[in-house]
Amino acid sequence: MASRLLNVALYQTGWFCCVFGAAKGHPLLGALIATILVLVHVALVRQPRREIGLLLAAALIGGAVDSLQSCFGLLRFQSGYVVGCIAPPWIAMMWMQFATLLRFSLAFLSGRYLLGAVLGALGGPFAFWVGERMGAVTFGVPAWRSLLVLAGVWALVLPVLLRLAGPRRETSPRVGYRGLS
């Protein structure tokens, strides 16, 4: 339980830092703080190499899908672009942050791809909506189209990430943070 609580706290702090940093014109600062939090996560996990692979895969997949949405005008990130419409680095870091949840706080979704798709379709657009309200992203016009595409993207991507995270191992002593239950 302590591992899951710490896991959620690390994620939420990193998410907030990325979104707030981007909204206030300091995307690199938010991404740096989130990177430190991801490194804390990796330092605490019992299988760091396996975890790093998952985090990098999430960054690549998420960065690609958010870049496509940006290039098609469905999303516009307020700061941090480096090249054209390619999603800024803080977005890739947010995907890594999200992936830290898959084997911990979201372990109950392991193997439950339909439930993952439903929760992704609801949670992904909601997170972007909150980010839009905070000023980190704007939606294309009309906004409902962007939210609908986000729902579809998250309904597809979350099950893929769950598959990459591997089978449910909640009962294994190898799951969780070192020194925590």
CA angle 93, 14, 8 (to 5 degrees): 115
Q: 77 lies in a domain? A: yes
In this prediction, residue 171 carries a pLDDT of 44
* Cis ω before 142 (30° cut-off from 0): yes
In this prediction, residue 179 carries a pLDDT of 75
- Sequence length of the chain is 181
Alpha-helix runs per DSSP H in the chain: 2-23, 27-44, 48-71, 89-99, 113-134, 143-165
In this prediction, residue 117 carries a pLDDT of 98
pLDDT at 157 over 80: yes
Q: 170 lies in a domain? A: no
In this prediction, residue 105 carries a pLDDT of 93
pLDDT at 54 over 50: yes
Domains identified in the chain, total number: 1
Alpha-helix runs per DSSP H in 45-107: 48-71, 89-99
Predicted structure pTM score: 0.92
User: What is the rounded CA–CA span in Å between residue 61 and residue 92?
Assistant: 9
Q: 181 lies in a domain? A: no
In this prediction, residue 169 carries a pLDDT of 54
User: What is the rounded CA–CA span in Å between residue 26 and residue 122?
Assistant: 28
pLDDT in tens, 71-109: 999 999 999 999 999 999 999 999 999 999 999 999 999
In this prediction, residue 178 carries a pLDDT of 81
Q: Is residue 66 within 8 Å of residue 60, measured between CB atoms?
A: no
Q: 55 lies in a domain? A: yes
pLDDT in tens, 129-145: 999 999 999 999 999 99
pLDDT band at residue 170 using 50, 70 and 90 as cut-offs: very low
pLDDT at 180 over 80: no
Q: 174 lies in a domain? A: no
Tokens representing 109 are 């979704």
- What mean pLDDT comes out for the span 47-54? 94
- What mean pLDDT comes out for the span 22-27? 96
pLDDT at 174 over 80: no
Q: Give Dmax over CA atoms of the chain in angstroms.
A: 49
pLDDT band at residue 167 using 50, 70 and 90 as cut-offs: confident
> What domain range includes position 89?
2-165
Strand partners, 138: 76
Which are the contacts of 40, defined by CB distance < 8 A and separation ≥ 6?
10
In this prediction, residue 173 carries a pLDDT of 46
> Nearest 5°: phi and psi at 47?
-130, 75
Q: 179 lies in a domain? A: no
In this prediction, residue 2 carries a pLDDT of 86
Q: 73 lies in a domain? A: yes
Which are the contacts of 173, defined by CB distance < 8 A and separation ≥ 6?
none
